[in-house]
């Protein structure tokens, strides 16, 4: 069973890293350009997923389980973050009827 | 004040642990339903099978003819007056010479209509008729309708057909429901 | 791994798929029959002998009804909803081991072919993954209808599914701890004799799982998403024709899969009491092996059918919950109970191992 | 590790005690828990519940002890400060205190991690708790908004940090910082490692709110309830600096060529942006927020120097003094304005007429932040500047010095308002937290006049 | 074959990731994000990391995104309200990210990334048993501490999301 | 040990002043005690030999900062002047405001005295810096709190200016510390080895900036007039009488001996500037209508001369610096006291609205005239020997510069006489309340000052005898 899977032999690891970086950049773009808090939050999730992909890829190519365990942690914590985040967004929406961050200006910033 | 012996007092006592588990109750419920599963079914496959009907059943109306085949109805209107649902309407006409074999009296109903959506099959028309002209049959059901125009039964569908006069059955169906009831009471011996 | 092995696999998968659809189809029939029987009626009996063609008639009706999409609905999502529901429902059955192995040496296949779509080592997770995706069909459909009742139904369905999924997975963990594997076939293989069935070893877990399975399938007493008195038709209020059919059909497939998972996890799967005795009676060689497997398959389907029946049985026994009762049951009873179950199981395992 | 356990357990206990709905009881329990953790930090066997051979990915070395002790000490006082907030604005006191306690678990992890996983978990434990704490004043739009902004920016920064970690993992195949520090040259030369260090650094700079990654912090500071802001400005700042210092000043000090320039410019930018923007602020909290950015700039000196105990002890000393100042400022402000969070500078006018002690304490706090002698702030700056000078950061020091003149300009505004401005004081005087102001003020003077007492204490840990 | 699969999945992943950011309707964003998760899970499966792949689906697609969908439906967010012009800001953001991505690409393409050799390669590391062993032997303490985080998040989410007395809206 | 006592004694008095609260009599006794005690300590120190008076305790061990004090010939007269000026300020305050005495002012003035004593005696550069900066705080608080409404701004300006300068000094100190490699800040170790010329250049600039702002020399003076005019007179006395002497002391103790190269490189530029300041200050003073502003600009002018003298680094000039330093402190303190008495009597500080006061208060007129003479440096007053020696030194340095600075003798008499004329002589303004008479303690303090003006004019050697050796040491670098 110790043979290297075909994909690892065929695809250079740089391809995966590029893919993850592109997805990560798209996530950053989302955070920067969108105004809806929920979509910004989703863009952050996109970034986290790019990171997950990186970890899994490196873990697979280097044959080291620690990377995948890290992914496990990231997923768990992202879930907690989403729970809190959505609670906050709901709380905001309840008071202000919007989730548009550019409309939230009770703080001058 | 206890009005009925079937009233059940509701108790709001706290449920015991066993009761709060619900499981025994659920199992009990499952037992009840599965018992029904194996019980004899009560369904009657209607067109094929029919329920036996009571002799005092009030079914579809019929306008009777007499023994010679003449219509009994004289369009006196008492049935329409008696009808609580105002389902009956009629138009009277005078019997022309040469029509004596058709109508028993000089006056007859040229139009006689019962709105079957209104009719509640109470049998009061039957009771009111002085000529024993209208009866509710015990063996015929009013059919279901698919069109509003079918709802109003005219004489074409109400008047007894000529063939049935001849049969002995016609006599039997000449009885009013109350007559039939009295018959049944005597027959069953429950008086 | 040769071509024939793949072919045999393909056949098995197709068969499983077909059987899934068949059983789901006839579940609709069974539902009505069981309902009728429990209510002292006869049920459908006009289409075909004993009404056996009724499901086909229903399907035909579904196909030929007008396919209506509300004007303000989101068209693509409106179509995607039932498709997703159907897709996730159908995908699940491929990891369930319907039987032992088949000896197909006469076809030139050297290995024993398991009667299972694919034997992934994380079968349970696979099932859970798909179950958790099942919510999307409902939510998307409900939202896309652009109808308040649909949306409310969808949200109810989603929250109910999420809530009960937790308790469900937690109850499974106890089994996984005992077996040490996430593979369903491994779990089934572990229950090879009657007294080892998990239902005896994990009664609490079984009850939790059962309750959650009811909730996951939106079956009475947890059929709040589509409870007519409050929400008209729930998330599929706006649906008609075969799209509605898909939703209903998906529900029956889910029921089938749930029954299969329950039987596999808690009732020994294709194992049956006295298996070894029967095995001794069988002729030696491939034929005997296959016969035994066949018997196993039959037993397994028997168990599945029983549970499908059980689903229907319960439906006509227990009244629908109120929504707060539903949530209370899920969060305040089942989840703590399943956690306690895990703890107790862990303690016992530790105790037994030491 | 024992302290972390104690904190976790006491958080749990607090949640249960919350059923009794007694704020004072919860508060004293929280203080007891924190105190116990503090004691355990020094006297407990850290690995008491863990098998000896187990790698906990946490190491309570001297570095961690210093920072953890600082964090716990300040947290205790902030819990005391929270009493009024809990009584007046907010009913879910148990939850508030429990979340605060849990956040300290994260903070302690940030001081003691040796592994990327513990760094990440610590960051998030602290972060998520803070998003919650920032939004605890549910009736205030500002608080809600602060919470949201903090959440979005915090999550974004976490994403950057994780990306950096992933890249470092890709380059070296390691997650353990110590191992990474020792890993071979060629893996460090790869582009991935550079990207990784870059992102890790940027993310952490986000967390410590160094310019130009600071833009979230004024809003968050202003919107959060006062006591939460004090918590952020003190405890969170200490914890995130501990993390930054641990990674870059310690583990990654061997490859400073990769990150040194960035920190340098961030330091410069923080000094300039923080001080100059603070000049034009009109509310007390916003001014403190910008001042906190500039303090970040000063603190970054320690990381730029990154060698020896000198910078470390200086950093700890500075953080201690800064924490004391913030604590004093907030205790006085809480006494004067209750839980209001939109206090303008003008409202401070003439306050000394009503409460000269409070005014004195506040003055000390601001003097200390401005780095004027006889307060600890000066000695703290000295401790940071002198190793920086030894490292030859003359230009940066000049920037630091010029910006502290600007800093003095705005730090003196509240002082002037409090003492010299004519005007009827609008403050209401309560004396709930006078002892905190007294203690903090005394610490500021002691650390300013007899800094050896404090620095010996720090060096001892 | 495998290469094509890789390119197909990557193409799909990037496309749907872009759609997440560009979609006007938040619901569509959510759905595209789910699609992205599926493609990433596909990558995980091909890389022999089945457990992570499935967990990705369960946790992200099955739980997190349901929450998102739930919230969006609940709040009835339709389209982005258009508030003033942010064209220049957006354009500069796009440019910035492009430059940034360009730098990444330039750095990554020539990067020499160490890969395990044939001898020490273990294709089983993505299996549950391996991950479990690693998790519970090496990372037990952080694992336990994550529970603190969860507790905190749970308490906080309830505290913040709960309707206070006197609040009328849902 | 006397150096330590000299530092602690005012501190103790400060504490006692805090405890004695608003009791004017007690405070007055404390003020007298401060003067006499300090004088006694200094006298004892001098008689027992200055070199025995040093103390040296470690203070901040991690940086090697010591609490190291020493009395020497250089700082002796600064210390004496400090005691005197603080006494005048205190006495004035207690007297003037005896109805609503502000204990905090007394406490703070004693604090200033202690801190300044520390500054003058410090032998550790960081301690020097620490006290140097700390000294601003009490004065700042007195000025801002009890000054005119515009004082807030003016004193903040003063504070920020001085802070700005001194932070550069901090930078330079840190540089020296880093450079020397010794783990302490003692003068002896920081300046142990000769610094390269280039380094000396910028170190000179950094230190010079700090001290020049404090003094203030010409281009750095813009805080001065406002601060002097808007502060209460107590802090004006302190600022002009003793705070600016810190700058002079710093120049003498640090800049001159340790950065000779810097002085030779840049000294002439600043000399030119401050020489310009001498004339500029005098010219501005001539046209001012605010009593205090006249004095402020006169101070600028005088201090400019002192600055020139310092940078000229000849023994004559330095002798003159110390003499003039002391004389200026005495004169300016006296003038400010007088000006405030006049202003409070006249109800205004505007020169146009005064006049004819001599007829109302003879004593005040006499004292005013004596200080005026001292300020103009008429022979036989204390201003004369110092100014004479300064000018001599400047002539020796550069004859044109000497001539240019010599103009100050003419100009100062012009604006001083103008001041006297406008306020004391001339017609009485109508409708003014009766001018209060000088009371006993006012007379006492003014008499003390006037005695010094005349006494030192007659016998200046008492100063130069002690400081002479120190001046010789200073010049050794050149």
Range of the domain at B67: 61-139+149-188
Specify the DSSP class assigned to residue D22: -
Q: Residues 6 or more apart from C112 whose CB is under 8 A from it?
A: C101, C102, C103
Task: Specify the pLDDT at position F97.
Answer: 67
How open is the CA angle C240-C242-C245, to the nearest 5 degrees? 85
Are D27 and D93 spatial neighbours (Cβ–Cβ below 8 Å)?
yes
Burial of D344 (0-12, 13-18, 19+ CB in 10 A): middle
Scan for tokens 């010939």, then name that residue: F73
Chains D and B touch (3+ CB pairs under 8 A): no
Total domains present in chain F: 2
CB burial string B31-68: b at 16+ within 10 A, e below: eebbeebeeeeeeeeeeeeeeeeeebebbbbbbbbeee
Distance (Å, rounded) from C-alpha B40 to C-alpha A48? Answer: 64
Burial of C335 (0-12, 13-18, 19+ CB in 10 A): buried
User: DSSP letters of B7-18?
Assistant: ------PPPPHH
Q: Nearest C-alpha of chain C: how many angstroms from B36? A: 5
Residues of chain B contacting residue C36, judged by C-beta atoms under 8 Å apart: 41, 43
Q: Residue D459 half-sphere exposure, CB side, CA atoms within 13 Å?
A: 15
Residues of chain E contacting residue D147, judged by C-beta atoms under 8 Å apart: 160
Distance (Å, rounded) from C-alpha D228 to C-alpha D334? Answer: 12
Q: Which of E110, E149, E153, E158 to mutate to test the interface with D (most CBs of D within 10 A)?
A: E149
- D10 prior amide bond cis, ω within 30: no
Asked if the Cβ–Cβ distance from C317 to B41 is below 8 Å, we say no
Q: Residue C52 half-sphere exposure, CB side, CA atoms within 13 Å?
A: 4
Helices A65-96 and E65-75 pack at an angle, to 10 degrees, of 10
Domain assignment of residue B144, yes or no: no
Distance (Å, rounded) from C-alpha B113 to C-alpha B158? Answer: 8
What three-state secondary structure class fits E8? Answer: helix
Asked if the Cβ–Cβ distance from B30 to C317 is below 8 Å, we say yes
Q: Which residues pair with B61 in a beta bridge?
A: B136
Nearest Cα to Cα of residue D302 among D348, D330, D277, D267: D267
Asked if the Cβ–Cβ distance from E156 to D173 is below 8 Å, we say no
pLDDT band at E82 (very low <50, low <70, confident <90, very high): very low
Q: Is B179 or F286 the better-scoring residue by pLDDT?
A: F286
The answer on F187 and F83 residing in a single domain is yes
Question: For A4-64, where are the alpha helices, taking DSSP H only?
Answer: 6-10, 13-33, 37-62
Asked if the Cβ–Cβ distance from D223 to A70 is below 8 Å, we say no
What three-state secondary structure class fits B144? Answer: coil
Of C129, C135, C136, the CB nearest to E54: C129
D124 contact E CB<8A:
yes
Q: Residues 6 or more apart from A62 whose CB is under 8 A from it?
A: D173, E114, E115, E116
Residues of chain D contacting residue E159, judged by C-beta atoms under 8 Å apart: 92, 95-96, 99, 132, 136
Average pLDDT value for chain D: 87
Distance (Å, rounded) from C-alpha D418 to C-alpha D332? Answer: 12
E99 contact C CB<8A:
no
Q: Nearest C-alpha of chain A: how many angstroms from D336? A: 23
Task: Specify the pLDDT at position D47.
Answer: 63
Q: Per residue in C200-215, pLDDT tens? A: 888 889 999 999 998 8
Beta-carbon count within 10 A of A18 CB: 17
Helix or strand holding residue C113 (H, E) = strand C112-114
The answer on F282 and F236 residing in a single domain is no
Are F439 and F367 spatial neighbours (Cβ–Cβ below 8 Å)?
no
Task: Specify the pLDDT at position E169.
Answer: 56
Does residue A25 carry a pLDDT above 50?
yes
- Of A54-68, D336-350, F77-91, F279-293, minimum mean pLDDT range: D336-350
Of E104, E111, E148, the CB nearest to D102: E148
Does residue F432 carry a pLDDT above 70?
no
Does residue D147 carry a pLDDT above 70?
yes
Full-model pTM: 0.87
Nearest Cα to Cα of residue D207 among D178, D232, D177: D232
Are D420 and F27 spatial neighbours (Cβ–Cβ below 8 Å)?
no
pLDDT band at E16 (very low <50, low <70, confident <90, very high): very high
Q: Nearest C-alpha of chain C: how many angstroms from B116? A: 30
Domain boundary among F224, F241, F257: F257
What separation in angstroms does the CA of F212 have from each of D419, F161, F200, F238, F333? 29, 11, 17, 17, 21
pLDDT band at C192 (very low <50, low <70, confident <90, very high): confident
Q: Per residue in F374-425, pLDDT tens? A: 888 888 888 888 888 888 888 888 888 888 888 888 888 888 888 888 877 7
**Token output for D428:** 């209401």
pLDDT band at D11 (very low <50, low <70, confident <90, very high): very high
Task: Specify the pLDDT at position D128.
Answer: 93
- CATH class of the domain at E1-81: mainly alpha
Asked if the Cβ–Cβ distance from E156 to D95 is below 8 Å, we say yes
Does residue B8 carry a pLDDT above 80?
no
Are D233 and D293 spatial neighbours (Cβ–Cβ below 8 Å)?
no
Please give the share of chain E, as a percent, with pLDDT higher than 90: 18
Task: Specify the pLDDT at position E153.
Answer: 92
Are D99 and E152 spatial neighbours (Cβ–Cβ below 8 Å)?
yes
Residue B145 φ then ψ, to 5° = -110, 150
Q: What was the ipTM of the complex prediction?
A: 0.84
Distance (Å, rounded) from C-alpha B45 to C-alpha D309? Answer: 98
Task: Specify the pLDDT at position B170.
Answer: 47
Task: Specify the pLDDT at position B168.
Answer: 46
What separation in angstroms does the CA of D322 have from each of D329, D454, F325? 11, 13, 41
Please state the rounded mean pLDDT for residues D368-381: 89
Does residue F444 carry a pLDDT above 60?
yes
Domains by residue range for chain A, with CATH? 6-96 (1.10.287.3510)
Task: Specify the pLDDT at position A1.
Answer: 47
Asked if the Cβ–Cβ distance from F133 to D378 is below 8 Å, we say yes
Average pLDDT value for chain B: 81
Q: Per residue in F281-339, pLDDT tens? A: 898 888 888 888 888 898 888 888 888 888 888 888 888 888 888 888 899 999 888 88
**72-101 of D, contacting E, C-beta below 8 A:** 92, 95-96, 98-99
Q: Per residue in D168-211, pLDDT tens? A: 998 888 888 888 888 877 777 778 888 889 999 999 999 898 98
Residue of F nearest to D423 (CA): F149
> Which chains, if any, share at least 3 CB pairs under 8 A with chain C?
B, E
Q: Which residues pair with F394 in a beta bridge?
A: none
Asked if the Cβ–Cβ distance from B30 to C34 is below 8 Å, we say no
Domain boundary among F257, F288, F303: F257
Does residue E157 carry a pLDDT above 50?
yes
Question: Tell me, what CATH number does B98's domain have?
Answer: 3.30.70.3270
Task: Specify the pLDDT at position B174.
Answer: 59
Task: Specify the pLDDT at position B165.
Answer: 67
Q: Is E81 or D232 the better-scoring residue by pLDDT?
A: D232
Distance (Å, rounded) from C-alpha A30 to C-alpha A45? Answer: 10
Does residue D277 carry a pLDDT above 50?
yes
Please give the share of chain B, as a percent, with pLDDT higher than 70: 91
What three-state secondary structure class fits C147? Answer: coil
User: DSSP letters of C181-241?
Assistant: ---HHHHHHTT-SGGG-HHHH-HHHHHHHHHHHHHHTT-TTS-GGG-HHHHTTGGGTT--H
The answer on F124 and F94 residing in a single domain is yes
**125-144 of E, contacting A, C-beta below 8 A:** 125-126, 130-131, 133-135, 138-139, 142-143
Q: Residues 6 or more apart from C333 whose CB is under 8 A from it?
A: none
Distance (Å, rounded) from C-alpha F127 to C-alpha F118? Answer: 8
Domain assignment of residue B94, yes or no: yes
Q: Is D91 or B35 the better-scoring residue by pLDDT?
A: B35
Asked if the Cβ–Cβ distance from E108 to D192 is below 8 Å, we say yes
Residue of D nearest to A58 (CA): D170
Does residue F52 carry a pLDDT above 80?
no
Task: Specify the pLDDT at position D307.
Answer: 67
Of E61, E73, E128, the CB nearest to C122: E128
Does residue F434 carry a pLDDT above 70?
no
**Token output for B163:** 């063939």
Beta-carbon count within 10 A of C132 CB: 23
Q: Residue B50 half-sphere exposure, CB side, CA atoms within 13 Å?
A: 7
Helix or strand holding residue F18 (H, E) = helix F2-20
Please state the rounded mean pLDDT for residues D34-60: 78
What ranges do the domains of chain E cover?
1-81, 119-162
What separation in angstroms does the CA of F98 have from each of F18, F26, F28, F104, F447? 16, 11, 10, 13, 20
Burial of F233 (0-12, 13-18, 19+ CB in 10 A): buried
Does residue D91 carry a pLDDT above 70?
no
pLDDT band at B26 (very low <50, low <70, confident <90, very high): confident
Helix or strand holding residue E20 (H, E) = helix E2-22
Q: Which residues pair with F67 in a beta bridge?
A: F57
Task: Specify the pLDDT at position F339.
Answer: 86
Residues of chain E contacting residue D139, judged by C-beta atoms under 8 Å apart: 164
Distance (Å, rounded) from C-alpha F275 to C-alpha F219? Answer: 11
Residue of D nearest to F167 (CA): D401
Distance (Å, rounded) from C-alpha D6 to C-alpha D108? Answer: 12
């Amino acid at each position: 069973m110790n043979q290297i899977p075909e994909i690892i032999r065929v695809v250079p690891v740089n391809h995966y890293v590029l893919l993850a970086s592109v997805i990560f950049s798209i996530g950053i773009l989302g955070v920067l350009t969108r105004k809806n808090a929920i979509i910004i939050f989703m863009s952050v999730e996109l970034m986290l997923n790019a990171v997950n992909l990186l970890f899994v890829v490196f873990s697979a190519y280097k044959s080291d389980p620690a990377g995948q365990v890290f992914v496990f942690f990231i997923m768990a914590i992202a879930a907690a973050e989403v729970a809190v985040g959505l609670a906050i967004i709901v709380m905001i929406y309840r008071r202000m009827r919007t989730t548009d961050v550019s409309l939230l200006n009770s703080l001058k910033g | 004040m206890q009005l009925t012996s079937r009233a059940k007092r509701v108790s709001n006592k706290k449920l015991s642990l066993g009761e709060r588990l619900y499981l025994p109750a659920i199992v009990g419920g499952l037992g009840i339903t599965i018992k029904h599963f194996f019980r004899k079914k009560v369904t009657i496959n209607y067109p094929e099978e029919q329920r036996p009907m009571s002799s005092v059943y009030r079914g579809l109306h019929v306008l009777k003819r007499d023994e010679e085949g003449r219509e009994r109805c004289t369009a006196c209107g008492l049935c329409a007056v008696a009808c609580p649902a105002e389902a009956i309407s009629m138009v009277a006409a005078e019997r022309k010479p040469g029509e004596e074999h058709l109508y028993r009296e000089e006056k007859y109903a040229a139009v006689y209509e019962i709105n079957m959506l209104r009719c509640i099959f109470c049998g009061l028309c039957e009771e009111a008729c002085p000529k024993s002209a209208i009866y509710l049959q015990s063996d015929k059901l009013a059919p279901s309708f698919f069109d509003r125009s079918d709802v109003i039964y005219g004489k074409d569908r109400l008047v007894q057909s000529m063939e049935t006069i001849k049969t002995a059955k016609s006599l039997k169906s000449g009885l009013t429901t109350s007559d039939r009831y009295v018959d049944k009471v005597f027959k069953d011996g429950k008086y | 791994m040769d071509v024939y092995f793949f072919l045999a696999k393909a056949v098995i998968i197709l068969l499983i798929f077909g059987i899934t659809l068949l059983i789901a189809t006839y579940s609709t029939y069974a539902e009505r029959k069981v309902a009728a029987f429990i209510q002292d009626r006869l049920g459908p009996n006009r289409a075909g002998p004993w009404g056996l063609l009724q499901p086909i008639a229903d399907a035909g009706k579904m196909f030929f009804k007008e396919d209506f999409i509300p004007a303000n609905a989101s068209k693509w999502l409106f179509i995607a909803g039932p498709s997703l529901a159907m897709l996730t429902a159908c995908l699940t059955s491929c990891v369930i081991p319907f039987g032992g192995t088949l000896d197909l040496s006469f076809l030139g296949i050297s290995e024993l072919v398991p009667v299972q779509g694919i034997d992934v080592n994380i079968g349970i997770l696979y099932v859970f993954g798909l179950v958790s995706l099942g919510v999307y069909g409902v939510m998307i459909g409900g939202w896309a209808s652009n109808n308040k009742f649909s949306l409310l139904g969808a949200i109810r369905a989603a929250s109910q599914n999420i809530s009960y999924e937790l308790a469900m997975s937690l109850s499974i963990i106890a089994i996984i701890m005992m077996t040490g594997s996430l593979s369903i076939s491994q779990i089934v293989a572990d229950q090879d004799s009657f007294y080892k069935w998990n239902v005896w070893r994990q009664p609490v877990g079984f009850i939790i799982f059962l309750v959650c399975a009811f909730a996951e399938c939106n079956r009475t007493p947890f059929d709040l998403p589509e409870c007519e008195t409050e929400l008209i038709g729930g998330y599929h209020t706006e649906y008609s024709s075969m799209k509605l059919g898909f939703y209903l059909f998906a529900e029956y497939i889910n029921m089938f899969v749930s029954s299969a998972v329950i039987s596999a996890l808690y009732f020994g799967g294709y194992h049956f009491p006295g298996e070894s005795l029967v095995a001794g009676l069988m002729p030696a060689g491939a034929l005997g092996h296959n016969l035994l497997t066949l018997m196993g398959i039959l037993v397994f389907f028997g168990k599945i059918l029983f549970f499908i029946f059980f689903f229907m049985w319960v439906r006509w026994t227990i009244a629908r919950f109120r929504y707060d009762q539903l949530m209370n049951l899920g969060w305040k009873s089942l989840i703590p109970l399943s956690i306690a179950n895990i703890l107790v199981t862990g303690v016992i395992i530790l105790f037994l191992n030491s | 590790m024992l302290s972390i356990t104690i904190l976790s357990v006491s958080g749990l206990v607090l949640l249960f005690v919350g059923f009794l709905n007694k704020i004072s009881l919860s508060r004293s329990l929280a203080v007891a828990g924190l105190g116990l953790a503090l004691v355990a930090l020094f006297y407990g066997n850290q690995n008491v519940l863990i098998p000896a051979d187990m790698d906990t990915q946490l190491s309570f070395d001297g570095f961690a002890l210093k920072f953890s002790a600082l964090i716990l000490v300040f947290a205790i006082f902030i819990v005391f400060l929270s009493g009024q907030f809990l009584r007046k604005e907010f009913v879910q006191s148990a939850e508030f205190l429990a979340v605060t306690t849990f956040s300290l678990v994260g903070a302690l992890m940030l001081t003691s991690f040796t592994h990327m996983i513990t760094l990440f978990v610590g960051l998030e434990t602290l972060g998520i708790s803070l998003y919650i704490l920032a939004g605890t004043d549910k009736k205030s739009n500002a608080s809600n908004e602060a919470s949201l902004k903090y959440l979005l920016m915090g999550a974004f920064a976490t994403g950057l940090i994780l990306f950096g970690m992933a890249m470092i993992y890709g380059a070296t195949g390691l997650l353990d910082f110590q191992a990474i520090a020792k890993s071979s040259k060629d893996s460090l030369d790869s582009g991935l490692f550079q990207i990784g260090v870059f992102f890790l650094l940027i993310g952490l700079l986000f967390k410590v709110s160094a310019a130009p990654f600071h833009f979230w912090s004024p809003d968050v500071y202003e919107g959060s309830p006062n006591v939460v802001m004090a918590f952020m400005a003190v405890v969170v700042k200490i914890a995130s600096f501990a993390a930054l210092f641990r990674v870059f000043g310690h583990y990654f000090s061997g490859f400073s060529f990769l990150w040194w320039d960035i920190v340098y410019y961030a330091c410069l930018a923080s000094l300039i942006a923080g001080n100059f923007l603070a000049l034009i602020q009109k509310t007390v909290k916003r001014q403190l927020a910008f001042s906190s950015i500039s303090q970040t700039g000063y603190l970054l000196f320690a990381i730029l120097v990154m060698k020896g105990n000198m910078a470390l002890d200086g950093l700890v000393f500075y953080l201690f003094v800064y924490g004391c100042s913030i604590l004093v400022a907030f205790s006085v402000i809480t006494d004067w304005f209750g839980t209001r969070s939109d206090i303008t500078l003008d409202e401070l006018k003439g306050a000394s007429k009503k409460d000269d002690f409070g005014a004195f304490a506040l003055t000390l706090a601001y003097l200390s932040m401005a780095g004027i002698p006889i307060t600890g702030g000066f000695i703290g700056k000295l401790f940071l500047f002198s190793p920086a000078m030894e490292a030859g950061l003359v230009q940066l020091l000049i920037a630091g010095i010029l910006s502290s003149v600007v800093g003095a300009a705005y730090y003196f505004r509240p002082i002037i308002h409090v003492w010299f401005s004519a005007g009827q004081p609008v403050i209401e005087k309560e004396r709930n937290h006078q002892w905190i102001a007294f203690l903090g003020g005394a610490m500021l003077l002691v650390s300013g006049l007899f800094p050896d007492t404090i620095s010996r204490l720090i060096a001892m840990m | 074959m495998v290469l094509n699969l890789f390119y197909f999945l990557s193409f799909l992943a990037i496309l749907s990731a872009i759609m997440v950011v560009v979609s006007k309707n938040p619901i569509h964003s959510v759905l595209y994000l789910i699609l992205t998760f599926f493609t990433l899970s596909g990558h995980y499966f091909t890389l022999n990391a089945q457990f992570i792949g499935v967990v990705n689906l369960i946790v992200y697609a099955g739980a997190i995104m349901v929450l998102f969908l739930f919230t969006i439906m609940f709040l009835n967010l339709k389209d982005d309200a258009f508030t003033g012009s942010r064209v220049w800001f957006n354009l500069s953001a796009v440019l910035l990210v492009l430059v940034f991505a360009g730098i990444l690409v330039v750095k990554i393409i020539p990067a020499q990334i160490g890969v395990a050799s044939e001898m020490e390669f273990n294709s089983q590391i993505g299996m549950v048993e391996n991950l479990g062993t690693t998790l519970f032997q090496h990372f037990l303490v952080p694992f336990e501490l994550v529970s603190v985080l969860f507790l905190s998040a749970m308490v906080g989410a309830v505290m913040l999301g709960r309707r206070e007395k006197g609040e009328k809206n849902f | 040990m006397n150096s330590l006592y000299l530092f602690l004694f005012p501190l103790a008095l400060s504490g006692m002043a805090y405890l004695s609260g608003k009791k004017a009599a007690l405070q007055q006794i404390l003020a007298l005690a401060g003067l006499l005690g300090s004088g006694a300590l200094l006298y004892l120190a001098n008689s027992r030999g200055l070199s025995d008076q040093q103390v040296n305790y470690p203070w901040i061990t991690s940086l090697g900062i010591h609490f190291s004090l020493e009395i020497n010939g250089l700082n002796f007269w600064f210390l004496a002047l400090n005691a005197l000026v603080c006494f005048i300020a205190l006495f004035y305050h207690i007297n003037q405001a005896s109805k609503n005495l502000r204990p905090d002012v007394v406490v703070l003035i004693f604090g200033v005295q202690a801190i300044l004593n520390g500054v003058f005696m410090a032998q550790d550069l960081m301690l020097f810096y620490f006290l140097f900066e700390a000294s601003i705080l009490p004065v700042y608080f007195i000025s801002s709190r009890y000054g005119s409404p515009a004082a807030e701004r003016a004193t903040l300006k003063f504070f920020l200016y001085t802070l700005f300068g001194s932070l550069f000094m901090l930078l330079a100190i840190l540089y020296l510390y880093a450079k020397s490699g010794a783990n302490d800040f003692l003068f002896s170790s920081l300046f142990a080895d000769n610094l390269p010329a280039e380094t000396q250049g910028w170190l000179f600039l950094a230190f010079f900036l700090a001290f020049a702002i404090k003094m203030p020399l010409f281009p750095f003076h813009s805080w001065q007039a406002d601060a002097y005019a808007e502060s209460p007179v107590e802090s004006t006395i302190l600022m002009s009488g003793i705070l600016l002497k810190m700058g002079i002391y710093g120049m003498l103790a640090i800049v001159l001996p340790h950065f000779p190269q810097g002085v030779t490189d840049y000294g002439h530029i600043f000399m030119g500037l401050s020489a310009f300041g001498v004339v500029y200050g005098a010219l501005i003073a001539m046209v001012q209508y605010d009593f205090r502003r006249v004095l402020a600009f006169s101070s600028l002018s005088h201090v400019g001369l002192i600055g020139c003298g310092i940078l000229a680094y000849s023994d004559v000039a330095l002798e003159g610096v110390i003499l003039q330093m002391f004389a200026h402190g005495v004169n300016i303190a006296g003038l400010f006291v007088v000006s405030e008495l006049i202003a409070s009597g006249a109800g205004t500080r505007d020169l146009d609205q005064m006049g004819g006061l001599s007829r109302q208060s003879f004593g005040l007129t006499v004292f005013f005239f004596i200080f005026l003479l001292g300020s103009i440096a008429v022979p036989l007053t204390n201003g004369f020997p110092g100014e004479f020696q300064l000018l001599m030194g400047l002539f020796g340095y550069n004859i044109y510069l000497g001539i240019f600075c010599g103009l100050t003798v003419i100009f100062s008499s012009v604006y001083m006489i103008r001041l006297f004329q406008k306020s004391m002589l001339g017609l009485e303004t109508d409708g003014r309340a009766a001018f209060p008479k000088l009371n006993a303690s006012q007379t006492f303090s003014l008499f003390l000052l006037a005695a010094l003006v005349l006494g030192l004019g007659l016998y200046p050697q008492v100063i130069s005898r002690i400081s002479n050796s120190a001046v010789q040491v200073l010049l050794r670098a050149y």
